[in-house]
Amino acid sequence: MASGANSDRLLARDVTSSEIENPRQPLINGVTSSESYSATAAILPFFFPALGGLLYGYDIGATSGAKISLQSSSLSGTTWYNLSSLEIGLVVSGSLYGALIGSALAFTIADFLGRRRELLLSAVLYFVGALLTALAPNFPVMVIGRFVYGTGIGLAMHAAPMYIAETCPTQIRGRLISLKEFFIVFGMLLGYISGSIYVDLIGGWRYMYATSAPICLIMGIGMWWLPPSPRWLLLCAIQGKGSLPHAKEVGITCLCRLRGVAFSSSASEQVDLILDELSYVDQEKQAAFSEIFRGKCLKALIIGAGLVFFQQVTGQPSVLYYAATILQSAGFSAASDATRVSILLGLLKLIMTGVAVLVVDRLGRRPLLIGGVSGIAISLFLLSSYYTLLNSLPSVAVIALLLYVGCYQLSFGPIGWLMISEIFPLRLRGRGLSIAVLVNFASNALVTFAFSPLETLVGTGVLFAGFGVIAISSLLFIFFIVPETKGLTLEEIEAKIL
């Protein structure tokens, strides 16, 4: 059986998908989306890419504790602990800026690296960034480490959903990609716990960041072992970047490795179905940049970028920023310790994400989005009421905070990443998804850095009311623009919906 590394050498480049002018439904009429698979075999092709999400979440959680440790004159273990607000901002947001760089980089390199090798590169950047940050002898080296780690985040959050979507069985695709969000939240929780453990040690921030290094190694070794995406291999062969019979043979081998023995009897038929669809939609020519903003891909870009934009501008970074203040005002003793408050919220996020994972393939994407975003809007208006009219009732703010976190993790949290991995046509999937990921991190940065000046300008209550209005706008966007993709193969989504 060919190894993942040997399979990658067959074809030099990764290419993404394209619009088609004459839509048809070859995989819908007369062919079901049901695929046999071995549950055990399906776990690893999900697990190793999902570690990229876990490392992203871990960085968020660990940085909250590292910030406290790094600024302490007695616990930082450095002579440069007296950092300015700008320098602290660079430490906290350095990985976010790196993620922006990684997302932009993915637009170019995804076309020739492929999903698997992009994840391999991400694991290397994660590892180097974690060690540079943890062992930094001075502040500039630490910032460089934060940027390198963030570049790994940008690449991982681009390639992981694509690899999982293109290799997992259709009937559990929604569950697995949503489970990647579970890994992000779980990583966040691990980061909060790590911060709580090491925050009282001298140089504890170094241990917080170094703890992620072994996970980076596991991710890299796992991605080296996994095969490339069979859809990518077949697409490259159709575009003349390899022998089609050879690519078909390797594609069958890769599918059997990904799905297990239970799939071996139908692997050849599945490869033929993918080839039939790729041949029909005329994927032979290489994607031009302008195609991303035309036809089917433009529609997919509006859906995907719109979802991740609303995911951030409905106030998610800001609501979590206010979490400790809200809990303290309610008199919770745990709120006096920022790390323990973070663990509490991390547990809630983890539980609600688990609920979304369990129901997404049964209820569908749209019901979770519509129900969850409705709850987000209500919670934002409740928070606004607390800061303007009901500040003598802190229980209102606590209820609103918990409602917000729960509804976000049922809707925008997992479903945003799921939809952007499904919705783009194959030939332009890599480039389209890189734009969506770039929009995600850019809008996150926008909300994070605009919050304080806007709060000073208009007040906290008015600002949360503004987020509530944006949440209602996002609800209308979901209702009228976002399609249902439950139970459809990626080819069916392209043929039927786009």
Domain assignment present for residue 35? The answer is: yes
Percent of the chain with pLDDT over 90: 31
Task: List phi, psi (to 5°) of 427.
Answer: -65, -25
* Alpha carbon distance 475, 372 (integer Å): 9
Range of 424's domain? 291-497
Query: Of the spans 156-165, 322-331, 474-483, which averages the highest pLDDT?
Result: 474-483
pLDDT at 127: 98
Contacts of 205 (CB under 8 A, 6+ apart): 65, 66, 69, 70, 76, 198
**In 10 A of CB 79, how many CB atoms?**
7
Within a domain: 195: yes
The answer on 313 and 168 residing in a single domain is: no
Kindly report the CATH number assigned to the domain that includes residue 337. 1.20.1250.20
Round the CA-based radius of gyration of the chain to a whole number and report it: 23
For residue 463, tell me if it sits in a domain: yes
Q: Within a domain: residue 67? A: yes
One domain for residues 322 and 412: yes
pLDDT at residue 452 tops 60: yes
Are residues 435 and 310 part of one domain? Answer: yes
- As for how many domains the chain has, the answer is 2
Residues across the chain:
498
Let me know whether 225 and 366 are in one domain: no
Asked if 174 and 316 sit in the same domain, the reply is no
Same domain, 200 and 305: no
Identify the domain boundary among 186, 206, 229. Answer: 229
Q: Is residue 258 part of a domain?
A: no
Measured distance CA(476)–CA(123) in Å, rounded = 38
pLDDT given at position 235: 77
More confident residue, 498 or 395: 395
pLDDT tens digit sequence for 379-425: 999 999 998 988 788 888 888 988 999 999 999 988 988 898 888 88
Looking at the structure, tell me whether residues 202 and 302 fall in a common domain.
no
CA 389 to chain centre: 37
Domain boundary among 200, 229, 258: 229
Residue 274 lies in a domain: no
Q: What pLDDT was estimated at residue 1?
A: 40
Asked, for residue 245, whether it belongs to a domain, the answer is no
Q: What is the pLDDT of residues 42-96, one digit of tens each?
A: 777 889 999 999 999 999 888 878 888 888 888 888 888 888 877 887 888 889 8
d(CA 360, CA 374) in angstroms, rounded, equals 17
Does the pTM surpass 0.85? The reply is no
Residues 380 and 483 in one domain: yes
Mark which of 208, 229, 250 sits at the end of a domain. Answer: 229
Regarding whether 213 and 321 lie in a shared domain, the answer is: no
Residue 134 included in any domain: yes
